[in-house]
Structure 1
């Protein structure tokens, strides 16, 4: 008996190959990044420096990303996404290899900072290429696919890093360089051109006149996207990463290993939720996704501050992961909607919003935690998430788009 063939997904509803290639590249980048991060503070301390100097090595990367992001947009517009993406990855690869060869603290600091330059080139060009590769009706799913690769790499990296560190404290840096070279090779071989597409994903988008950044900043949709990305950077990379380990040990009185377990479980939940979140963003809309993500994320951050035990913490972090899956896809899709093909500078500023939150969050939250209490530091994330929800509510209402039509939601 011949079994009937399963219906295939309509061609117009499939994601372009470039989206999956970018997901693979993000995996390689994230694996290497996850390998290095756990051993970097220990390596810095091996040069006989204090905690302040160790913190500077970690923050130098993010600071250079922030400083150089404004230059990345014009560079992309001039040279193209694939060139800038490949060059950025290779700069980080060279930086990582040089860190592995560093013999002084000063060398380590300079090489780490140089990697931030390449990181801004990679992240902005990758997001710009992602935006150009898909129509509005696919942008949420495309962003979710890209972030899935990054999350899987982030979960894999620390385990590999622990094994490599047992061999040599310098080995993870060379491994990072190798994974980055592999990512650059994938980009050069597998990425296509930078042709922008419309909703039917078949005909090229018409050329659009360049818009000044001020016109984007005056757009309520762009303002909401920036607010969400800043709040997400503050809460996810600032508050959660810097204070949760302290909360687990000093408030819940559990072994530090529980921090890694809690965050790992939440990361798995977020990875699973990204595709449904992308579908929600594309079919229901950006505005409701950003409002729901911000409100749920803010409530979860507030709940983290008052969890009575480790299992409650794991549960709340999983709820927060669901919210972040929406906040990670909807704002990026919104930027793509309003920026169109010429999106280098708007994407760079969008990236800077998260970097700023990531840098300021641990500093200001640390001051609040020291002077008032660690629980109150989490409240800052709740307040920022609330402001992001208000900004999202100001976005214009749109009905969900027909997948066959190009509509900004």
Structure 2
């Protein structure tokens, strides 16, 4: 197995794969941001109703969720690099074809198939990131990777709006090209990293099925079962559920409506709130990763969960524009810690080729992103926006309780090796 690069001081240096994965993440998020404004408009062009338009948006996320575990199994069998490139190819082909679809059922089927490829990419990329990054740098590696997504997500929608005005099909074709570029970068710049000693080589049978399987092979085969017995891993799952619920769900679906209907502001103010959160998260990532690596996983997770819970609780109070903007910015800072600490914990708990361990972690966020808008939207209609935000605050509070339940020092600040 190739030796890890080391800095001049002898400490492990950040592997090249981390920077490559950050570039790939930026390109993928850029393309996704480009196509996002076009999806509802393009779906509407088939003459379907609002419910069908919503189905076109959620089909991608749903099939990404249900296929994530299978993606983790593929990672353990064939290796991260292969599954990552294949996933990007699947999304590229299905997205390009969706832009040329002549009927709504075909468009919907292609969007759903794209979710399968997205699960393959997401699970394999995070699995590779956590495996190649030294324990002393996992927080910074996670922050660097998430930074690529955030920057791409900020830049993409602006370009997508202009492209959609030219033609609603054009963003799909541009997104397909960006995915092919990302896949090419991954194949050329990512090295095939062999599994750790005792883990199965890509394409080999499950080590648990081998008559000669020893303790190391058994540990590799039962990585998920062992992780589920870890309070640290369970805390990471609950925290990621909250991130998906609020950051990828409620923030995008409910917050713009809250700004317009409850605060009485224009859509520009809603955009300002979302932008404040994104900028705060991007700035927070500059320090959050180092904090996770030097201060420790548990205290960083507790701080992030506490700040996230408090920031959303502000929206349960009577509506005020200043409180709204402050809440969005504070949640962005919390999200920077929750993008680094839980992922680092997953890498600590299962540092081998833990595709299924990473897949379940990703599924927690996807489950939150699917359930959050539905539950919060129903509460906003049936009761009030404050009730919807109170329920979302409760989900984040569960993450805080789970973080507090992690034993002190487990996982602790990693030693430099």
Alignment of 1:326-337 (within 5 A): 326-337=337-348
Q: Measure, in 2, the Cα distance between the counterparts of 1:212 and 1:262.
A: 41
Match of 2:115 in 1: 116
Determine the structure 1 residue equivalent to 2:391. 380
- Tell me, yes or no, if structure 1 residue 366 matches structure 2 residue 365: no
The separation in 2 between residues aligned to 1:272 and 1:175, in whole angstroms, is 29
Gaps of 5+ in 1: 1-7, 199-205
Between 1:137-146 and 1:187-196, the stretch displaced more is 187-196
- Structure 2 SS opposite 1:12: coil
Which residue is 1:185 aligned to? 184
What's the counterpart of residue 174 of structure 1? 173
Mapped contact 1:277–1:325 kept (Cα < 8 A) = yes
CA contact (8 A) 1:307 1:313 kept: no
Determine the structure 2 residue equivalent to 1:34: 33
SS in 1 for 2:265: coil
Post-superposition offset of 1:363: 0.7
The runs of 5 or more residues in structure 2 that have no matched partner are 1-6, 198-215
Structure 2: distance between partners of 1:265 and 1:386: 23
Give the 5 Å matches for 1:111-260. 111-195=110-194, 209-260=220-271
1:59 maps to: 58
Cα gap change, 1:401/1:253 in structure 2, threshold over 3 Å: closer, same or farther?
A: closer
What is the distance in 1 between the residues matched to 2:82 and 2:10? 28
TM-score, structure 1 as length reference: 0.92
Q: Secondary structure at the match of 1:253?
A: coil
Structure 1, 53-62 or 158-167: larger mean CA deviation: 158-167
Cα distance in structure 2, aligned partners of 1:238 and 1:301: 13
The alpha-carbon deviation at position 402 of structure 1 amounts to: 5.7
The size of the alignment, in residue pairs, is 391
Equivalent in the alignment of 2:44: 45
Aligned pair in 2 of structure 1 residues 49, 191: CA closer, same or farther (>3 Å)?
Answer: same
Give the equivalent residue in structure 2 for 1:202.
none
- Relative distance call for 1:185 and 1:11 in structure 2 (3 A) is farther
2-structure distance, mates of 1:43, 1:401: 49
Change (3 A) 1:261 1:404: same
Match of 1:203?
A: none
TM-score, scaled relative to structure 2:
0.90
Q: Deviations over 1:56-101 (max 9, x none)?
A: 0000011001111111111111111000000000100011101110
CA contact (8 A) 2:311 2:331 kept: yes
Question: 1:341 aligned to 344, 349, 352, which one?
Answer: 352
Query: What's the CA shift string for 1:144-188, capped at 9, x where partnerless?
Result: 000000000000000110111121111100110011001001000
Tell me which moved more, 265-274 or 22-31.
265-274
1:3 aligned residue:
none
Other-structure match for 2:336:
325
CA drift at 1:387: 1.1
CA RMSD of aligned residues (A): 1.8
Indicate the larger mover: 253-262 or 127-136. Answer: 253-262
1:84 touches 1:122 (CA, 8 Å); kept in 2?
A: yes
Q: Out of 290, 304, 323, which is 2:315 matched to?
A: 304
Contact 1:225 1:331 in 2 (8 A): yes
CA distance in 1, matches of 2:45, 2:415: 56
CA-to-aligned-CA distance 1:205-253 (integer Å, 9 cap, x gap):
x986322533221211111011000111111112111110110110111
